[in-house]
Amino acid sequence: MTEPRYSLFPDHDSRTAADHALTERLGVSRRLMPSRDVVPAGPSGEWLRELRNMRFDRPRELAGLTEWVIDGLETGTVQVTHPGYLGLFNPAPTFASECADRIASAFNPQVCVHSHAPAAVEIELHVIREVARRAGMPDGSGGHFTSGGSEANLTAMLCALQAACPAYGDDGVCAFARPPHVYVSEESHLAWLKIAHAGGIGRNAVRLIQTDGRGRMDPDALAETIATDISSGRMPVMIAATAGTTNAGMVDPLTRCGELAREHGMWFHVDAAWGGALIASDTGGALKGIERADSITIDAHKWFATTMGAGMFLTSRPDVAAQAFRVDASYMPRSVAAKDFFVNSIQWSRRFVGLRLFLALAAAGWRGYAGHTERAIRLADRLARRLQRDGWSLANDSPMAVACLVPPEGHEAVRSYVDSVHRDGRFWVSTAVFEGRTVLRACITNGRTSERDVDALVHTLKAVAPSIWSTQAESDLSVSEPHRTDLD
């Protein structure tokens, strides 16, 4: 018997047919999505057994394999593209960004060197410059796309250390006469601790500044901690303010943080991984002060809703990034160093991820994104107002599309409500800890979530209310969910 053979590089006709079939299959999945549970029960035991038994010892039909994978994803992942997913900031991706992924895959350009893919590099640089301009940064600002917010934040810290001590790049932290420290709020994204470790300054060099009772960095506590650290022989190198905390969408006092950083010769970074999309909207000035930052993190894969794995590092001091990431590799083609990402960033080989935001932004315009963010904010407000009528209270006061809610029965009842919502299956919301207390967190992440969905969630919460006490004992034992939502 001859084994089936699979060609890794099928001919044009069979590939085109398979492409069409896959597109159709994904269309069916998308159409059925809203009628499915947001949190399916799987993956099934059988699916997992099949996976474990797959030893890659014989070829298989690709069509069967893709079907098997789609089945696994349909039944074995939280459906973040479901309109009932009001969760951690994992977006339903824009169609334009999905198109960008296909185009990038087809041409597979190597974006690390300008001379190798000038069209792709110029597109990315253009998007970065326009986003920086929109954020109010000065002319000459630059930056690059990253894998996400964590990489962009790591890049910012490495730049801060480089700017504080030019010998850091060659000699590491030993080059510092005094141990360098960085300053973030207690409500910041705790990847900062890993970042400090990765940059060699250690987790203990991250000062978690207390918040003001409303989820924002307390600037007086910040000033005091910096002063104490200086007098006890430490070296403050960076303030990283959060503009849109992951839990509650709160914005640290950016102007004050920027002034303190200037005063002490520190790098001023703004982590706007999620909330940065508000630059699209002219209303409110929620991000005022962001324009003074030495660097900004904005994720394309959060509120700008590209497919996963796309963040942005923006900086008004691109020369510092060039020093931090300089390298001389004889085998690399060189062109204009400022346009060669591999000597200005952490990554070497690069995927053309910037195309995702380029296509979406060019197609919808800033106005389109303003509509997208404002719509989400209206829906979050609607949810909060409806529940307030039923005796719930709103714990946060965010300019973004997130509501941290406390049920009439109090903070202790949050988990029961969340568990009941998950059991119902049509919605996904999370528990979070805001200012030390458990809240129900609902965040609008999907451009197709509607008023009807929000009203249905309100009804669901009403319907489960009388039953929550009977399930309390059971859910007290449940450890199925992390208490903070640092995971996104």
Give helix 219-231 / helix 254-263 axis angle, nearest 10°.
20
Nearer to ligand PLP, 144 or 189 (CB): 189
Q: Could you check whether the bond before residue 408 is cis, i.e. omega within 30 degrees of 0?
A: no
Cβ at position 207, least distance to ligand PLP in Å: 17
Non-local CB neighbours of 357 within 8 Å, separated by 6+ positions? 97, 127, 131, 300, 304, 306, 310, 312
Determine the Cα–Cα distance for residues 251 and 327; give it in Å rounded to an integer. 37
Cβ at position 238, least distance to ligand PLP in Å: 15
Cβ at position 350, least distance to ligand PLP in Å: 16
Cβ at position 460, least distance to ligand PLP in Å: 26
Cβ at position 194, least distance to ligand PLP in Å: 10
CB 453 within 8 A of CB 84: yes
Cβ at position 4, least distance to ligand PLP in Å: 40
- Please give the C-alpha separations between residue 171 and each of 59, 96, 165, 174, 177, in angstroms, as whole numbers: 50, 44, 10, 6, 12
Cβ at position 288, least distance to ligand PLP in Å: 18
CB 322 within 8 A of CB 344: yes
Determine the Cα–Cα distance for residues 292 and 241; give it in Å rounded to an integer. 12
Backbone phi, then psi, for 251, in 5-degree steps? -115, 120
Nearer to ligand PLP, 185 or 460 (CB): 185
Nearer to ligand PLP, 148 or 236 (CB): 148
Nearer to ligand PLP, 81 or 246 (CB): 246
What is the chain's alpha carbon radius of gyration, rounded to the nearest angstrom?
24
| DSSP secondary structure code for residue 211 in this structure | B
Cβ at position 57, least distance to ligand PLP in Å: 37
Number of residue whose CB is nearest ligand PLP: 149
Non-local CB neighbours of 1 within 8 Å, separated by 6+ positions? none
Counts for the chain of helices (H) and strands (E), in that order: 15, 11
Nearer to ligand PLP, 168 or 274 (CB): 274
Cβ at position 87, least distance to ligand PLP in Å: 12
Nearer to ligand PLP, 113 or 278 (CB): 278
Residue 360: how many CA atoms within 13 Å on its side-chain side? Answer: 27
Binding site residues, ligand PLP, CB under 6 A: 148-150, 153, 189, 191, 242, 244, 246, 271, 273-274, 299, 311, 488
| DSSP secondary structure code for residue 310 in this structure | -
Nearer to ligand PLP, 225 or 445 (CB): 445
User: What are the DSSP calls for 43-96, one per residue?
Assistant: S-HHHHHHHHH--S-S---HHHHHHHHHHHHHHHS--TTSTTB--SS-PPPPHH
Determine the Cα–Cα distance for residues 313 and 408; give it in Å rounded to an integer. 42
Nearer to ligand PLP, 145 or 358 (CB): 145
User: What are the DSSP calls for 239-284, one per residue?
Assistant: EEEEBS-TTT--B--HHHHHHHHHHTT-EEEEE-TTGGGGGG--ST
Nearer to ligand PLP, 192 or 392 (CB): 192
The SS3 assignment for 207 reads strand
Nearer to ligand PLP, 242 or 445 (CB): 242
Q: Please give the sequence-ordered ranges of beta strands (E in DSSP) within 148-231, or none if there are none.
A: 180-185, 206-209
Cβ at position 428, least distance to ligand PLP in Å: 17
